[in-house]
A and B are shown apart, each in its own frame.
Chain A
Amino acid sequence: MDWFFQQLINGLGLGAIYALIALGYTMVYGVLRFINFAHSDVLMLGAFTAFYIAPKIEKLSGSQSALGCIMVFILAAAVCAIIGMLIERLAYRPLRNRPKLTVLITAIGVSLLIEFTAQNEKVFGAAPQPFPQLLPEHALHWGALVVSSNDVLTVSVTTVLLVAMWWIVQKTRIGTAMRAVSYNQQAAYLMGVPVDRIISFTFGLGSALAAIAGVLYAIKAPGIEPLMGVQPGLRAFVAAVLGGIGNLPGAVLGGVLLGLLETFAGGISGLSNYRDAIAFGILILILLLKPAGLLGRSSVEKV
């Protein structure tokens, strides 16, 4: 029973990160109907931004202070928001009315460009580097259960951000505009919604979330390297599809479910080598059985 609860806690910690990344995939899909392959690389860039600015912040605010940690998160998010908007502006916007697959391939190209550039010795280099400790880590004991303070941090940051996202999308003017663009871009444009700016904003928001997820992921990971975003990015994509792509609560649900599933499967010997295959297996199963995802709605093609 303890084993079960321990896995549950670990799974939630992992799932929370997937959920954060999945939100970015889903929001971008919501407004543009395409899969932003470069999303996982923005996550990596977020981790590296934190890696480079954390020592500087430390000089200002002292070692492992809460304020410094918050500063690192905010700066990483801001830098990546700008990067995300730049990617959209330079690579995706010129392709707005082209076939989806053209955009998909471009996104793959952008992803490869970021990865290969980052791997260059003159940039980050391919070797993993230890990520600085932003906050002192404690292990909280609860009976036989051990909860890392990092998991608590992850889950609480994620919860706060999810509530913030929900608020932005449902309660603010710009959120209403995002929903309008998602529902019908043409009509939104005709109603005076500044479509370009909304899409840009969505990319910025999604990329900021990815950056925060990247920092959270880096805190837990043994080291950071240019391909660190690929695996969590992939899982998060699966999570977004699992929940119903384009659907915000769905992304969270999918992320948590996938985190739990993977943690439990990883705890079973023999299955752990197939972790990648499990994520893809789930993806394929959903797409074949319920392509609209758990919370999505299916649509009928008009003839």
Chain B
Amino acid sequence: MNAPLLELEKATIQFGGLTAVSGLSFSIGEGELVGIIGPNGAGKTTAFNMITGVYQPTSGTIRFLGKNTLGVRPNRLAGAGIARTFQNIRLFRSLSVLDNIRVAARLHNGEGYFSALWRGKGWLKAEVETEKNALELLEIFNLADQRDELAISLPYGDQRRLEIVRALATRPRLLLLDEPAAGMNPAEKDDLMRLIRFVKDRYHLAVLLVEHDMKVVMGICQRIAVLEYGIKIAEGSPKEIQVHPKVIEAYLGAAAV
């Protein structure tokens, strides 16, 4: 087996006296679809923030493509191939749908300050190319018709989808989705599951998913890690997790065991 794409080794983060994530070891290989579940406040989003460089682990290491990511800024990690969405959708509110994608595609646009000022032939070519790629992406996800609308004027489900498309425009190798099904109805959740599988296969990505909705997690993840109070209490296939005594205890309380 190849070296894993992302590897956490005893990653720990403390805020003041509070240990939000403690000794988390965990890895994800190319093309895998892995879920992280756990009760509220278990440290799932914090783990995401460590992986994407928003927070720095207090101790332990995180390696992406074999390289230690300690001290690497989120924008560098995005350039290296880690993309993410946010629990509380963070679209660029004064930009159109298309421009939201263009911002992410800027990583591959290649034009700089002075060429943007001069607007020469090379610049124009790059701009046309960027726009074409962005439109293609929007086309695939049925958002091309709304290209000129303000991103935040889209319906909620479309906003969630647009955030995933924007993440894809950075051309990631690892996509982190933070509660993508939050606030969706059952039909939308089914669409989302299809979408995640489709994205993973079409763009050959590894996907790491934080989700509360068991149906979604159990339905698409190949492997699941369970966090409670910042500690990984279990890891395994959906079937193993469903019957794991510690997991049942964490979710239903000790009495249920």
What residue in chain B is nearest A297 (Cβ atoms)? B16
Q: Is the CB of B54 within 8 A of A303?
A: yes
Hey, which chain B residues are within 8 Å of A300, CB to CB? 15, 55
CB distance from B17 to the nearest CB of A (A): 13
Q: Which of A16-44 contact B (CB under 8 A)?
A: none
Q: How far is the CA of A73 from the CA of B86 in the complex (A)?
A: 55
Q: How far is the CA of A300 from the CA of B15 in the complex (A)?
A: 8
Interface residue? B133 (CB, 8 A) = no
What residue in chain A is nearest B88 (Cβ atoms)? A303
Contact pattern, B 44-65, Cβ under 8 Å of A = 1, otherwise 0: 0100010000110000000000
Hey, which chain A residues are within 8 Å of B49, CB to CB? 303
CB distance from A243 to the nearest CB of B (A): 21
CB distance from A290 to the nearest CB of B (A): 16
What residue in chain A is nearest B90 (Cβ atoms)? A303
Hey, which chain A residues are within 8 Å of B86, CB to CB? 303
Hey, which chain A residues are within 8 Å of B15, CB to CB? 300
Hey, which chain A residues are within 8 Å of B54, CB to CB? 303
Q: How far is the CA of A303 from the CA of B55 in the complex (A)?
A: 10
CB distance from A303 to the nearest CB of B (A): 5
Hey, which chain B residues are within 8 Å of A303, CB to CB? 45, 49, 54, 86
Contact pattern, B 35-49, Cβ under 8 Å of A = 1, otherwise 0: 000000000010001
Q: Which of A266-303 contact B (CB under 8 A)?
A: 300, 303
CB distance from B189 to the nearest CB of A (A): 24
CB distance from B55 to the nearest CB of A (A): 8
Contact pattern, A 183-211, Cβ under 8 Å of B = 1, otherwise 0: 00000000000000000000000000000
Q: How far is the CA of A300 from the CA of B54 in the complex (A)?
A: 11
CB distance from B53 to the nearest CB of A (A): 11
What residue in chain A is nearest B52 (Cβ atoms)? A303
CB distance from B20 to the nearest CB of A (A): 10
Q: Which of A113-143 contact B (CB under 8 A)?
A: none
Q: How far is the CA of A114 from the CA of B15 in the complex (A)?
A: 45
Q: How far is the CA of A300 from the CA of B49 in the complex (A)?
A: 12
Q: Which of B9-51 contact A (CB under 8 A)?
A: 15, 45, 49
What residue in chain B is nearest A300 (Cβ atoms)? B15
Q: How far is the CA of A303 from the CA of B45 in the complex (A)?
A: 8
What residue in chain B is nearest A298 (Cβ atoms)? B16
CB distance from A254 to the nearest CB of B (A): 24
Q: Which of A56-112 contact B (CB under 8 A)?
A: none
Q: How far is the CA of A213 from the CA of B225 in the complex (A)?
A: 61
Hey, which chain A residues are within 8 Å of B55, CB to CB? 300
Q: Which of B165-222 contact A (CB under 8 A)?
A: none
CB distance from A99 to the nearest CB of B (A): 13
CB distance from A100 to the nearest CB of B (A): 17
Q: How far is the CA of A300 from the CA of B45 in the complex (A)?
A: 14
CB distance from A269 to the nearest CB of B (A): 46
What residue in chain A is nearest B46 (Cβ atoms)? A303
CB distance from B119 to the nearest CB of A (A): 32
What residue in chain A is nearest B87 (Cβ atoms)? A303
What residue in chain A is nearest B45 (Cβ atoms)? A303
Contact pattern, B 82-98, Cβ under 8 Å of A = 1, otherwise 0: 00001000000000000
Q: How far is the CA of A175 from the CA of B49 in the complex (A)?
A: 38
Q: How far is the CA of A268 from the CA of B113 in the complex (A)?
A: 47
CB distance from A296 to the nearest CB of B (A): 14
Q: How far is the CA of A201 from the CA of B156 in the complex (A)?
A: 42
Residues of chain A touching chain B, judged by Cβ–Cβ distance below 8 Å, are: 300, 303
Question: What are 6 contact pairs spanning A and B, CB under 8 A?
Answer: A300-B15, A300-B55, A303-B45, A303-B49, A303-B54, A303-B86
Residues of chain B touching chain A, judged by Cβ–Cβ distance below 8 Å, are: 15, 45, 49, 54-55, 86
Closest 6 CB pairs of A and B: A303-B54, A303-B49, A300-B15, A303-B86, A303-B45, A300-B55
